[in-house]
Structure 1
């Protein structure tokens, strides 16, 4: 069911959001990278602008689909009756006579309740239209799909309210699915079949602002770092195996905390894979350069530090087959292993691979978890978005997507103006996720979220026990949320911590220990 809007007081301005001392120092290191490392800092490609050339149509914003329809009217003939209105840099489409659509033979299917949705901004009505469109596409009723898209296009706006902005991205994804023209599918090896996917490469400073904008990522950082810090108390050597999409942005805070340990800091090793799903946020520096910056900060805080990139892991297949073992990871007998999974497991397919022996359904996700279990880590922390977007049914995914992806659009509305570049960039990153969820099937659909409850059961099934978060962690997370709009909250569900927006689940955080001997020979229990 669609949510009613609630008034949110926002007493803390965005420019007052504090970055940690460690993060600030990390950002300042940008000008201190050795000379041979500076080229990558200066050579990132330009951001796509949405301009159309004679040979290529860029689809970097929701409004550009209207240009595609004008350039390729044979794809959707019914759209040629529309009138184009250009307001500033935004192209919108409106009906010359909205009621005439229902008086034609083409519009005979759009009757009853759908008539009342024409031009409506009501969320329930928009959701109904989206589901009618999905149903038409699933049944190959192209005519009905065209008609519903026409109506939706009068509601959607990339510069409107949160409902309109979200709808514009879902509509773009539906048109993408119908036309098979855009966007370019993302493959699991990180490559693309052409260069039409918009690429926004961030500097480290821009990435820090991205992470700090809303607590979507910082919530997971805070909960995970607190659990890790508790688990490695008294350990002289710590090895973190980091699977994350945010380029090690959570570690300066942990390094700063380790520097203050009464017993002194441990020797800290961080290992990251060379492979990473090509999804936002993308950084304009390499993993090696990120490691250099972390090393500089660690020296500043007097924390012994090593950074390793797993080579020959340019694909998941290579990573799984050759790299996830004690020898390749150079695991030491006298070090404690920590595994960190931040918004990463969703990109491992949950579909069977053909029945791998002993791995339940043989999915890539279960195979990965079994491999991690075989490494016998002291603790594994798993953070991801708390929603089920893996359903085979397009209609089910649209319903969930409309009621879940609304959260970032609505939260940004509380403190950023409608034409804010920062807001539109963030929404664009969410929009490309929506396109993959709705526009593709099979191996091309890489966004495969499952709920925290489902993920927790999956992790239990491979032999981990839940490690509940302590009250100190809860206190730290609540302190973090106090820095943001009052709509953000936190709750416990079983042993999970869940970030909420206006009461709706957003992100979950969990911690796990091996169900058996840990590296010190002790049995870990709930």
Structure 2
């Protein structure tokens, strides 16, 4: 069944809901819902997803199964954006239901993830980043804030906490090479372990560093690259062990100190968080642990490093609710954005589109299918992040007009639905007016000019 789920088949084999009846008469629900097939819009699908989530949350597998049967007649991996998005929710629901009551489902799964992303080559990854402004927006805005912050500084050290394999830095290196006062000495430090999430690259972090060094040399920018060693052990392949590796072996939070990242007195420290904070839990993942492995603990440690500036970019949504129903609604109302954007410029059967959607599907599977430490996708809105940053004794920094113009120029290269808005000092990427990604810049209190 695993192969069937990962194929491009538009239907998943589920028992006919009429075979199941319960005392609450939930079988009649499926008959009512079936009558609406063919005229379902996003709002109707949202209601179906909510019914299914509520049923699973209350362990009513029979009712959940009946709703899934209806969803199965809507979902299509090569249909319109709503159908494609629904197919991933259906997979996640089936997986969750199979753990609640394996004998009632039409298959049993002995894996912890329904999909597995294929590592990309550097060339493929560059194309992935250029496909939409989802990543480039944050790269451009953050680089603009960093460039302005280090004016007049001769030695710069960037602690880069991101999932994008240093793809952000060639543009900054190129800009520094043209700096009127000359390029500074640039050092970049990255963790050797990252969250086990797409996008994945088929080269090591050391190879990435070597490529960056070669690029910097070609631009006459003095450069040094360091990988912060978090564990000497090889990370196992199993999903649960990768999670353990990220939270316990990496535990970059416990290693962020002036000595661990080799801070030098004559360097200006910059901290860059690109799609990183969402993978830190609200609570410690270890019982009776005093380790500061939470978002607030992380920010306290960063504050202790006294960085010159910290930039934060992440997805603008709240998907960390303990309620499955609430997460399902928030997830559906947010992740329609990438599915809708891809519809505007890629054919329905495009392999590139399917790969991109599969990465989003893995996110849905984690948000819907898992709880506890295994649910690592916990993004929060820019407004919540701002409150968290202020609590950690940081003050926001506004983006320059030059940076705003550069971001707008990037958006002009993409579909007309993309836009940008400001929320106080925050820049927000939008699709058809809906917030998708935010970027902010912060300085420790007392350092704001």
How many Å apart are 1:115 and its aligned residue?
4.9
Describe how 1:116-265 pairs up with structure 2 within 5 A: 116-180=35-99, 181-182=108-109, 184-185=111-112, 197-265=115-183
Seen in structure 2, the aligned counterparts of structure 1 residues 482 and 459 have a Cα distance that, compared at 3 Å, is: same
Q: Deviations over 1:182-204 (max 9, x none)?
A: 58447xxxxxxxxx752301000
Seen in structure 2, the aligned counterparts of structure 1 residues 149 and 254 have a Cα distance that, compared at 3 Å, is: same
Which residue, 279, 285, 288 being the options, matches 2:203?
A: 285
SS of 2:422 mapped into structure 1: strand
Which residue, 306, 310, 333 being the options, matches 1:403?
A: 333
How many Å apart are 1:477 and its aligned residue?
0.5
User: Which residue number corresponds to residue 370 of structure 1?
Assistant: 300
Describe how 1:118-517 pairs up with structure 2 within 5 A: 118-180=37-99, 181-182=108-109, 184-185=111-112, 197-313=115-231, 315-318=246-249, 319-320=251-252, 323-351=255-283, 364-516=294-446
SS of 2:311 mapped into structure 1: strand
How many Å apart are 1:460 and its aligned residue?
1.1
Could you tell me whether the CA contact under 8 Å between 1:119 and 1:154 is conserved in 2?
no
Could you tell me whether the CA contact under 8 Å between 1:119 and 1:151 is conserved in 2?
no
How does the TM-score come out when normalised to structure 1? Answer: 0.76
Which residue, 13, 28, 36 being the options, matches 1:108?
A: 28
How many Å apart are 1:147 and its aligned residue?
1.1
User: Which residue number corresponds to residue 235 of structure 2?
Assistant: none
Could you tell me whether the CA contact under 8 Å between 1:389 and 1:400 is conserved in 2?
yes
2:448 aligned with 1:524: yes
SS of 2:271 mapped into structure 1: strand
Structure having the higher Rg: 1
SS of 1:217 mapped into structure 2: helix
How many Å apart are 1:404 and its aligned residue?
0.6
SS of 2:46 mapped into structure 1: helix
Structure 2, gaps ≥5 residues long? 100-107, 232-244
Could you tell me whether the CA contact under 8 Å between 1:340 and 1:381 is conserved in 2?
yes
Range moving further from structure 2, 389-398 or 119-128: 119-128
How does the TM-score come out when normalised to structure 2? Answer: 0.89
Aligned equivalents of 1:178, 1:62: Cα separation in 2 = 21
How many Å apart are 1:401 and its aligned residue?
1.0
How many Å apart are 1:128 and its aligned residue?
0.9
Could you tell me whether the CA contact under 8 Å between 1:185 and 1:444 is conserved in 2?
no
Seen in structure 2, the aligned counterparts of structure 1 residues 62 and 183 have a Cα distance that, compared at 3 Å, is: farther
User: Which residue number corresponds to residue 78 of structure 1?
Assistant: 16
Aligned equivalents of 2:46, 2:36: Cα separation in 1 = 10
How many Å apart are 1:277 and its aligned residue?
0.6
Aligned equivalents of 2:117, 2:421: Cα separation in 1 = 35
Aligned equivalents of 2:375, 2:246: Cα separation in 1 = 17
Aligned equivalents of 1:322, 1:445: Cα separation in 2 = 21
How many Å apart are 1:370 and its aligned residue?
0.8
| Number of equivalent positions | 424
User: Which residue number corresponds to residue 28 of structure 1?
Assistant: none
